[in-house]
Amino acid sequence: MSVFSDFPSFRSVHEGCVATIGKYDGMHVGHQHVLKTLCHTADIRGLPAVVIVSEPHPEEFFSSTNAAPRLMPFQEKVDFLLSFGINAVFRMTFDNALCNQAPTAFIQEYLIEGLGVKAIIVGDDFRFGKNRKGDFQLLQKAGRELGFEVIREIPFKYENHRVSSTLVRNYLEQGDCEKVRSLLGRYYSVSGRVETGKKLGRELGTPTANIDLEGRRLPLHGIFSVLVEFEGKTLQGIASVGFNPTVENSEVAKLEVYIFDFDKDIYGERLVVSFIEKLRDELKFPDLESLKQQMVVDIEQARQSLQSLPMA
């Protein structure tokens, strides 16, 4: 088992660990640097590398409707961590009991008794416990008293800004896919299964794959050139993230993808869609013919945007 949600299960496999703790939303280059330090430290000590993640995010617990959209759902987060070489993920339930727990009690229950932490890696802005009164200095003091090492992680900077999930979301909202790529070390992507839609795209000559987002909100909107991973191949296409104002003015944003030169039946299949360049904002057209004409322009622009990128 690589994902744990209770201490007995974890301790039945691991007697101790080197850990880090956080939301780890998006797995940006700052996160990746922490993970490299974690793996290196764990390897030196001969212990498993463990990432403690909170579910739900604290912001979602306190205000689910106003919380910022996630960059990465939990399972994708786990997949990324395990592919990175992390030995285990501990899913820490964020609830009233946890957020009202005294910092010293959290250290004793979670780090010492629960996970057997021998070293923990956190940033100097790390906060925990009731009213966020626990900080790096308190953790360091507890480490000296209880026998675990506290390693301070230096924050990553990009254009004089601290690399963070918030910064990634800001650039996604602005449609700056290249800056997002610099922050993530890869293009931002979304995965999901293809579900049955209204098939309007087929009537307009551009059959689209409607991606089931499973209630997930996306941090970007508009029309984008994209790469699509399917069955080990990388395909090119164009995607719309929005509310379809011309046709239905949906209350929930949808992700629809038109894959170039592709005619397979892929209902129920999982696609990974990577966002390469924002072409324009979503617009409401006076009629379907106007929309169809704009789609021709968008598709040509997307093909040009993707000219230098792979297709296999």
The CATH number of whichever domain residue 22 belongs to comes to: 3.40.50.620
**Which residues in the chain show pLDDT less than 50?**
none
* Euclidean distance between CA atoms 148 and 247, whole angstroms: 59
In terms of residue numbers, what domain contains 299? 188-305
Does residue 209 sit in helix, strand or coil?
strand
- Same structural domain, 126 and 221: no
Q: Determine how many CB atoms are found less than 10 A away from the CB of residue 15.
A: 11
Give the end-to-end CA distance of the chain in Å, rounded to a whole number.
35
**Averaged confidence pLDDT in the chain:** 91
Sorted by sequence, the CB contacts under 8 Å of residue 233 that are 6+ apart come out as: 312
pLDDT value, residue 249: 65
- Same structural domain, 194 and 284: yes
pLDDT value, residue 65: 75
- Same structural domain, 7 and 149: yes
pLDDT value, residue 245: 73
Kindly state whether residue 168 falls inside one of the protein's structural domains.
no
Q: Which residue has the tokens 């993230």?
A: 241
Give the E-state strand segments of 133-246 in sequence order: 149-153, 157-158, 161-162, 189-195, 209-211, 222-230, 233-242
- Same structural domain, 156 and 234: no
- Same structural domain, 50 and 195: no
pLDDT value, residue 156: 87
Q: What angle do CA 221, 73, 150 make, to 5 degrees?
A: 120
- Same structural domain, 15 and 117: yes
Q: Summarize pLDDT for 93-116 with one digit per residue, the tens.
A: 999 999 999 999 999 999 999 999
What tokens does 87 get?
């030995």
Kindly state whether residue 274 falls inside one of the protein's structural domains.
yes
* Euclidean distance between CA atoms 273 and 189, whole angstroms: 5
Kindly state whether residue 269 falls inside one of the protein's structural domains.
yes
DSSP letters, 68-124, are PPPSS-HHHHHHHHHHHT--EEEEEE-SHHHHTS-HHHHIIIIIIIIT-EEEEEEET
Kindly state whether residue 167 falls inside one of the protein's structural domains.
no
- Same structural domain, 136 and 231: no
- Same structural domain, 153 and 198: no
- Same structural domain, 197 and 258: yes
Chain mean position to CA 83: 14
Kindly state whether residue 169 falls inside one of the protein's structural domains.
no
pLDDT value, residue 167: 96
- Same structural domain, 136 and 25: yes
pLDDT value, residue 271: 96
pLDDT value, residue 147: 95
Tally of domains within the chain = 2
Kindly state whether residue 183 falls inside one of the protein's structural domains.
no
Kindly state whether residue 179 falls inside one of the protein's structural domains.
no
Read off the CATH number of the domain in which 242 is found.
2.40.30.30
- Same structural domain, 23 and 132: yes
Kindly state whether residue 173 falls inside one of the protein's structural domains.
no
DSSP bridge pairs for 152: 122
- Same structural domain, 156 and 289: no
